[in-house]
Structure 1
Amino acid sequence: MRPARNAALIAPFLIAACAFSACAAAQKHPKKTPSRQAAAQPPQAGPAYASRPDAMAFADDLAERRGLSREWVRQAIGQARLLPGVPRLMLPPPRGTAKNWRAYRARFIEPVRIRAGMRFWQNNRDALARAEREYGVPAEIIVGILGVETLYGEQTGTYRVMDTLATLAFDFPAAHPRAAERQAYFRGELEQFLSHCDRTGVEPFTPRGSYAGAMGMPQFMPSSWVQYAVDFDGDSRIDLWNSPADAIGSVASYFKGYGWQPGMPVWYPVRFADDGARVDMQTLLAPDILPTFGVQRFMALGALLDGDADSHAGPLALVELQNGGDAPTYVAGTENFYAITRYNWSSYYAMAVSELGRAVAAARLVAP
């Protein structure tokens, strides 16, 4: 859905309660000039984009294609400010940086997050059960997502979304290996954001989010908000900052849209054939995390499954999780594992979501 991100610590905004709402009655007539107060310069911000010909040309093109007020779009983009630190956060780690699944796991499967997940599940058990019935996505996966993303709404981000999206649309780092593709992606997200603000009357400088422009408890990017966010609490607006039900339903809606298979496990344990010569790691790892191999082919290549896993219907992927200088961890990822990586393009992320959800579910079973 979006790039990896680190949400800044913040208590949920009351001011964001109506931001990016789908159909609040007060939002039927959008402001045609972003307010000067809302556009006050954020700390450590660079120059405004009003002086950038490329940004203003984009604004004119967007207004024409989307049928928006040219003045309003130019004002919004022109008042956005470059955030100098944000492009650096988009760069991948230096080449040679060792990945470590055990260290990554420890950041998320830990007591504070598990206890918070138990409270969240208890307080929202009806909405979680309804989302599972309607969308087929287990409660533990939704709980895992919201726990990893924002610690159940405690860490939704403090960046003005308008600034982050403009920064990444016009100043994405050229050193990134996929710079052109990623810059085009963020220009599309900026377009979705402004188009939605125009439709709903949201002040473009009100919503706050991550350094990549992700918003609310589930950290939805604007395109995902427009396509998958749902009013799950029935109050006629979508509020992903302050409505746990809307966040729950929207995450479930997202996964259904990406092909979630109800009842299918996310992954299976893997062991390798005792005869090392039978293990064709090159073939097994070539598709990366894309499920490619039927069970019989998977096992013929030397990756063995235990128990009921050998009757799995559907393709599998051999997922390698590096552990620094130690031996990697391997699992067999299913189509649902792949679906989680559509939320965040990382096998480590998908495993953390699954493991946190499992840990919270297990803790609930033994809680007094």
Structure 2
Amino acid sequence: MRRLSSTAPSLLAGLLLAALALPPAAIAQNADARRGATAVRGTVPYATRDDAMRFADDVATRRNLDRDWVRATIGAAQLLPNVPRLMLPPAKGSPKNWNAYRARIVDPIRINAGVRFWRDNAALLARAEAEYGVPPEIIVGIIGVETLYGRIMGNFRVIDALATLSFDFPQGHPRAAEREAFFRGELESFLSIESRTAQDPLVPLGSYAGAMGMPQFMPSSIAKYAVDFDGDGRIDLVNNTADVIGSVANYFKAFGWQRGMASIFPVRLDPERLKMQILMAPDIKPTFSADSFVAAGATLRGEALSHPGLLALIELQNGPDAPSYVAGTQNFYVITRYNWSSYYAMSVLELGNEVKAIVSP
């Protein structure tokens, strides 16, 4: 499974989509775990936990929030017993399979829903591209992969999910301390956001990792990147598609999306000149000029040869078959800032392009 970036808005999508690239046995095991997590909310209130109440007091002081309100909100959170084990890395098994992954994500249901979403929101998508430089197919691809255009946004109370992962993150995780700190930061951001609204902080629903709305933003991403795209004076990522579209576009621009730049180029590997260790060393981070990329045995053609930016060799495993490769640009890397996975980024691109081919043939 990919390493999860603290800036990634969606944690649930990363975990579920990474699982889709796993062998069937691992997928079944994760599905059983998710069913267990959904079946029942825990019964242990965090009001009885000294560590949770100390954290509440610290947050109230740092954020200048009402201490009793913060303590009451965290205290009302419930432990979700099966969620911590969903955060553990999957057991090592068979290679990932891009073809199987793609088939589950870029399917007729998502494509048809994406076509409707694009047509219903064409003006908003065009305005987002004009203002932020992010084309409609990228925004449509993201929202489709994340939540099927709002159909699957999670049914866990966000306060429960964030409290569970803040105070009961599995210590068997190789990066437990870092992940626990991440979720405590997200819980703090959630409390800060909710303190400025009139709604009950126990009401918002999201993923079992605390991601919310159509774009599945984590609370810190809502605070940093969400925008009131329709100017109605509030930001709503659950019901307001204008705010969703503008916020996704703003997120990409903030992470360095380059207007008019391709995300990937075709690539062919020359076995006689191939220096695979050199090409794969930076992973998905663009590092090579077009010339140095070719010098290491990656053959490009057409406009890719004159690409002014840096490139990365992206490997997509296909189970028992030979891997697929593409050359990823800065924009491909930006998509992985939403979810640190080349499989995720490719699924976003391919879903968006399939929809675009129907809407704008």
Normalised by the length of structure 1, the TM-score is 0.87
Tell me how far apart the structure 1 counterparts of residues 101 and 330 of structure 2 sit (CA, whole Å).
23
User: 1:320 aligns to what?
Assistant: 315
Which of 88, 93, 101 is equivalent to 1:91? Answer: 88
User: 1:148 aligns to what?
Assistant: 145
Where 2:73 maps in the other structure, the secondary structure is helix
Question: Given the alignment of the two structures, is residue 331 of structure 1 paired with residue 314 of structure 2, yes or no?
Answer: no
Cα pair 2:10 2:217 within 8 Å, conserved: no
User: 1:105 aligns to what?
Assistant: 102
In structure 2, relative to structure 1, the CA distance for the partners of 1:3 and 1:137 (3 Å cut) is: closer
User: 2:114 aligns to what?
Assistant: 117
Tell me how far apart the structure 2 counterparts of residues 57 and 167 of structure 1 sit (CA, whole Å).
15
User: 1:310 aligns to what?
Assistant: 305
User: 1:5 aligns to what?
Assistant: 12
User: 1:180 aligns to what?
Assistant: 177
Equivalent pairs counted in the alignment come to 330
In structure 2, relative to structure 1, the CA distance for the partners of 1:188 and 1:109 (3 Å cut) is: same
- Structure 1 vs Structure 2: percent identity of aligned residues? 64
Q: What is the CA deviation profile of residues 28-52 of structure 1, one whole-angstrom value per residue up to 9, with x for unaligned ones?
A: xxxxxxxxxxxxxx93313011111
Tell me how far apart the structure 1 counterparts of residues 234 and 197 of structure 2 sit (CA, whole Å).
10
* AA matched with 1:201: A
User: 1:233 aligns to what?
Assistant: 230
Where 1:200 maps in the other structure, the secondary structure is coil
Cα pair 1:50 1:79 within 8 Å, conserved: yes
Unaligned runs of 5+ residues in structure 2 are 1-7, 15-38
Question: Given the alignment of the two structures, is residue 212 of structure 1 paired with residue 219 of structure 2, yes or no?
Answer: no
Cα pair 1:321 1:348 within 8 Å, conserved: yes
User: 1:76 aligns to what?
Assistant: 73
Q: What is the CA deviation profile of residues 12-41 of structure 1, one whole-angstrom value per residue up to 9, with x for unaligned ones?
A: xxxxxxxxxxxxxxxxxxxxxxxxxxxxxx
Tell me how far apart the structure 2 counterparts of residues 125 and 140 of structure 1 sit (CA, whole Å).
11
Deviation at 1:3, TM superposition (A): 5.5
Q: What is the CA deviation profile of residues 270-291 of structure 1, one whole-angstrom value per residue up to 9, with x for unaligned ones?
A: 1011xx2410000100010011
Cα pair 1:149 1:218 within 8 Å, conserved: yes
* AA matched with 1:55: A
Tell me how far apart the structure 1 counterparts of residues 89 and 237 of structure 2 sit (CA, whole Å).
29
Cα pair 2:206 2:212 within 8 Å, conserved: yes
Cα pair 1:6 1:211 within 8 Å, conserved: no
* AA matched with 1:317: A
Tell me how far apart the structure 2 counterparts of residues 97 and 247 of structure 1 sit (CA, whole Å).
37
Where 2:221 maps in the other structure, the secondary structure is helix
Which of 256, 260, 263 is equivalent to 1:259? Answer: 256
Deviation at 1:269, TM superposition (A): 1.1
Where 2:12 maps in the other structure, the secondary structure is coil
Question: Given the alignment of the two structures, is residue 350 of structure 1 paired with residue 357 of structure 2, yes or no?
Answer: no
Cα pair 1:4 1:345 within 8 Å, conserved: no
Deviation at 1:148, TM superposition (A): 0.3
In structure 2, relative to structure 1, the CA distance for the partners of 1:4 and 1:321 (3 Å cut) is: farther
Question: Given the alignment of the two structures, is residue 290 of structure 1 paired with residue 285 of structure 2, yes or no?
Answer: yes
Unaligned runs of 5+ residues in structure 1 are 8-41
Tell me how far apart the structure 1 counterparts of residues 206 and 349 of structure 2 sit (CA, whole Å).
24
Cα pair 1:170 1:183 within 8 Å, conserved: yes
Q: Where do 1:20-99 residues align within 5 Å? A: 43-99=40-96
Q: What is the CA deviation profile of residues 204-259 of structure 1, one whole-angstrom value per residue up to 9, with x for unaligned ones?
A: 11110011111111001101101111111221111111111110000000001101
Tell me how far apart the structure 2 counterparts of residues 243 and 219 of structure 1 sit (CA, whole Å).
13
Which of 253, 256, 268 is equivalent to 1:271? Answer: 268
Cα pair 2:11 2:218 within 8 Å, conserved: no
Normalised by the length of structure 2, the TM-score is 0.89
Deviation at 1:99, TM superposition (A): 0.9
* AA matched with 1:222: P
Cα pair 1:3 1:345 within 8 Å, conserved: no
Bigger shift: 170-179 or 136-145?
170-179
Deviation at 1:135, TM superposition (A): 0.2
Question: Given the alignment of the two structures, is residue 133 of structure 1 paired with residue 130 of structure 2, yes or no?
Answer: yes
* AA matched with 1:312: H
* AA matched with 1:221: M
Where 1:278 maps in the other structure, the secondary structure is coil
Tell me how far apart the structure 1 counterparts of residues 131 and 77 of structure 2 sit (CA, whole Å).
40
User: 1:39 aligns to what?
Assistant: none
Tell me how far apart the structure 2 counterparts of residues 79 and 119 of structure 1 sit (CA, whole Å).
40
User: 1:364 aligns to what?
Assistant: 359
Tell me how far apart the structure 2 counterparts of residues 204 and 294 of structure 1 sit (CA, whole Å).
49
Tell me how far apart the structure 2 counterparts of residues 310 and 6 of structure 1 sit (CA, whole Å).
34
Q: Which has the higher helix share?
A: 2
Tell me how far apart the structure 2 counterparts of residues 175 and 319 of structure 1 sit (CA, whole Å).
30
Q: CA RMSD in A?
A: 1.4
User: 1:37 aligns to what?
Assistant: none
Deviation at 1:97, TM superposition (A): 4.1
